[in-house]
Structure 1
Amino acid sequence: MKYGIRLFVALCLLVIGFCIGATEYKNIFSDVKWTDVGMLLVTFFGFVFGFLTYFQWLNSKRRDDSYLAAKKYIASIDEVEEFLHELFFQYEHICPTPGLAIENKDISIARIEHLNKVLNYLYQARRSLYKSHRELGFWNVMLNDDFSEDYEAINEMLDSISVVSSVLNNQLFHFIESNEKINDVVQSKNRFDELSKKTHQIIQRRVQCGFKAVFNFG
């Protein structure tokens, strides 16, 4: 928009200069009809108005696209959180806990297969988060300092969660087959719970602060 305003000012100065120059050489324009001059001015200002309207529309379109990019980023984080919650929910039912009845073998194996799928979905969600974060820069949108740090922290947590979950799924499979090494399962489950809780706290910070606090639109 600012470029359109600059061009408008430049064109206005050109017209003013032309009018001033015309007073110095008024005899040259003695045969020119004022109706023609009026039509010329109307055409000129119509062109300028259309030009400014276009730049205003373009600026508005860019702003809308910037907001869409920001919303896509938030949606990617929500998707990551959804798969983390699903992992947590499944581990709560399959991991051995005092006072909780152990599921039969077939159900547990089916649950582990589901956990492996969810872990793959989480990986894909992380790719979507990376792409949506990259797109912010293209639309001249920046994360504010605290939330830029949160983005890095979330990725570090997700790296650790991916490793711990892969190990835990493998441990659960062997535990179901032999009922051995329960301590390893409990230790990995506790580590997962710790990482999941920290990640959830980081993600929820954006909800507490609100949309405007997260982004800086250039």
Structure 2
Amino acid sequence: MKWTDIGTLIVTFFGFAFGFVTYFQWQSSKRKEDAYLAAKKYIASIDEIEEHLHELLFQYNHICPAPGVVVENKDVSVKRIEHLNNVWNYLYQARRRLYKSQRELEFWNVSLTDEFSEDYKAMNKSLDNISVVSSTLNNQLFHFIESDMKNMDSVIQHKERFDELYNGIHKVTQKRVQCGFKAVFRFSQ
């Protein structure tokens, strides 16, 4: 056996070992990157929900009776209610995406911190309630417009409940922004 053969064997062994180690480091890095992307998807889902809730609030503030709010004509109000129903459907779809992205976190060994896990549960409960209130409010508004404002008290009551729920969800989403990314997630190996 020649020294050159031994040298070639050693170089080949180290090249193979280097390739083996590099592959597993790349695979570990790729898993971490995918876990990070799953966390970003979760945050994006919350942002999407917040946008739809803000759109509902904006529309309700313009159609619900309140001091200083100009009463719109019937055609404009009916179009606004149609838009509200569309936004409500978008909100439902966004909630499904949030649920899926939260499940995906588990797949990538990412979890919410204890505090934000509780916030997630509270936010979902509020979203369940806001879905019911919003659906009812949309119906109340339709009847409000069609019946010459005979159910004004009911509309005002449902709008106030919507505002309460919206404010609760808004506090949770703002808390997430204030605390930052690292305070929301735990990444496991």
Bin for the TM-score computed over the shorter chain: over 0.9
Q: Which residue matches 2:100?
A: 131
What SS does structure 2 have at the residue aligned with 1:101?
A: coil
Answer 1 or 2: higher relative contact order, Cα 8 Å, separation at least 6. Answer: 2
Bigger Cα Rg: 1
Q: Which residue matches 1:190?
A: 160
1:217 is aligned to 2:187? yes
1:100: how far off? 2.1
Q: Which residue matches 1:168?
A: 137
1:101 is aligned to 2:65? no
| RMSD of aligned alpha carbons | 0.8
Q: Which residue matches 1:201?
A: 171
Q: Name the CA distance, whole Å, in 2 between partners of 1:127 and 1:186.
A: 29
Q: Name the CA distance, whole Å, in 2 between partners of 1:62 and 1:129.
A: 21
Q: Name the CA distance, whole Å, in 2 between partners of 1:154 and 1:192.
A: 14
1:33: how far off? 2.3
1:78 is aligned to 2:47? yes
AA in 2 matched with 1:119: W
TM-score normalised by length of structure 2: 0.97
What SS does structure 2 have at the residue aligned with 1:142?
A: strand
1:112: how far off? 0.5
Q: Name the CA distance, whole Å, in 2 between partners of 1:101 and 1:35.
A: 92
Superposed, which structure 2 residues align to 1:49-68 within 5 Å?
A: 49-68=18-37
AA in 2 matched with 1:173: F
Runs of 4+ in 1 over 2 A off after TM superposition: 32-35
AA in 2 matched with 1:193: D
AA in 2 matched with 1:43: T
1:23-70 C-alpha deviation (Å, 9 max, x unpaired): xxxxxxxxx323222211111111001100111111111111111111
AA in 1 matched with 2:154: D
AA in 2 matched with 1:51: F
- Number of corresponding residues: 187
Q: Name the CA distance, whole Å, in 1 between partners of 2:177 and 2:87.
A: 24
Q: Name the CA distance, whole Å, in 2 between partners of 1:83 and 1:181.
A: 26
AA in 1 matched with 2:65: P
Q: Name the CA distance, whole Å, in 2 between partners of 1:74 and 1:171.
A: 33
| Structure 1: stretches of 5+ with no match in the other structure | 1-31
1:143 is aligned to 2:112? yes
How many percent of aligned residue pairs carry the same amino acid?
71
1:158: how far off? 0.4
